[in-house]
Homo-oligomer: A and B are copies of this chain.
Amino acid sequence: MPTPLSGIIPPLISPLKDRDTLDVAGLERLIEHLISGGVSGLFILGTTGEGPSLSYRLRRELILKTCQLTNGRVPVLVGITDTAFTESVNLAKYSAEAGATHVVLAPPYYFPAAPPEMLEYVQDLVAEMPLPLFLYNMPGLTKVSFELDLVRRALDMPGICGVKDSSCDMIYFHRLIEIAKQRADWSVLVGPEELTAEAVLLGGHGGINGGANLHPKLYVEMYQAAAAQDLQRTRELHAQVMKLAGAIYTVGKHKSAIIKGIKCGLSLLGICDDHMAEPFHRFREPERELIRERLVALGLIPQG
């Protein structure tokens, strides 16, 4: 009997030494940090992973190394979102060969496809997929959504196994949960960590939460409390997640503040380099110092 993928599946940042060089030792430490924190899977090349900003060569290296280092301990999900259909297919095939378990697809993000065009696109693409596919709803960056009608149609496509929703629209998310009841193996996961508690309390299967890169245990415990319907404990842990996000994601002034904050924090935790791919640069010293102070206040790094 198939079951939906559930739990906390962090969207890994991509450890970089420079623009086109993977920090392999950092990647290894990050993977061990996350697996020992109890996560249910690893998602690479998503938004937090700066997937669209990396060269194809680097994406393939990251896929291969992640699969080798994970070595089957947890599922590996790979983002294959691309404006070019052929490149999405190429990445999916490479992922399958490398040992990944799922692929994840947001809408093509240059041309906004209208709903009937999007349906044809998904039908065409899923026919070429060697691995189960998650739809990744991210209208803030892709301009268009996977509409609920498309999701209903996707239930009939065996190659699709669920939806990751980063729209921040919980009405949409609750409709996804309603739809999911019709397929036992269909998984509904939420992106923003501030919303994982309610997502799981009301029937969702878990979270793909960026902050879990920094503190996987906290997010896993919050998920477990919510899945166990322990409301009091969920509220306490949700408050801690809100505090972490409020501390780390508000240092930068721009929309890049979240990824920069996570990468900078991981660097301060000694896990990996915080080089960022263009169009971004890592935090400079003043912001880095603020992140350090906040990690101390959160108890994630020792005083001094």
Contacts and interface: CB of A to CB of B under 8 A. Distances in A.
The residue among A118, A171, A281 with the most chain B CB atoms within 10 A of its own CB is: A171
Interface string A163-196: 0000011110011001000000000000010110
The residue among A54, A85, A118, A232 with the most chain B CB atoms within 10 A of its own CB is: A85
A278 interface: yes
B55 A84 contact: yes
A20 interface: yes
A93 interface: no
B19 A86 contact: yes
Nearest to A254: B114
A194 B124 CA distance: 34
A83 interface: yes
Interface string A189-205: 00010110110011100
**Copies in the assembly, this chain:** 4
Given A55-B87, A114-B256, A254-B117, A171 B195 contact: yes
A253 B115 CA distance: 11
Interface in A247-273: 253-256
A109 B81 CA distance: 13
B84 A52 contact: yes
A16 B143 CA distance: 26
A279 B117 contact: yes
Contact of A280 (B20, B50, B86, B117): B117
B178 A278 contact: no
Contacts of A114: 253-256
A294 B54 CA distance: 44
The residue among A118, A124, A125, A279 with the most chain B CB atoms within 10 A of its own CB is: A279
Contact of A85 (B53, B125, B174, B232): B53
23 contacts: A19-B85, A19-B86, A52-B108, A53-B84, A55-B86, A85-B279, A108-B278, A110-B141, A111-B141, A111-B279, A112-B255, A113-B254, A113-B279, A116-B254, A117-B281, A120-B281, A121-B278, A125-B278, A174-B194, A178-B242, A197-B202, A198-B198, A229-B232
Given A108-B278, A108-B279, 7 more contacts: A20-B86, A57-B86, A111-B255, A112-B255, A117-B279, A174-B238, A175-B246
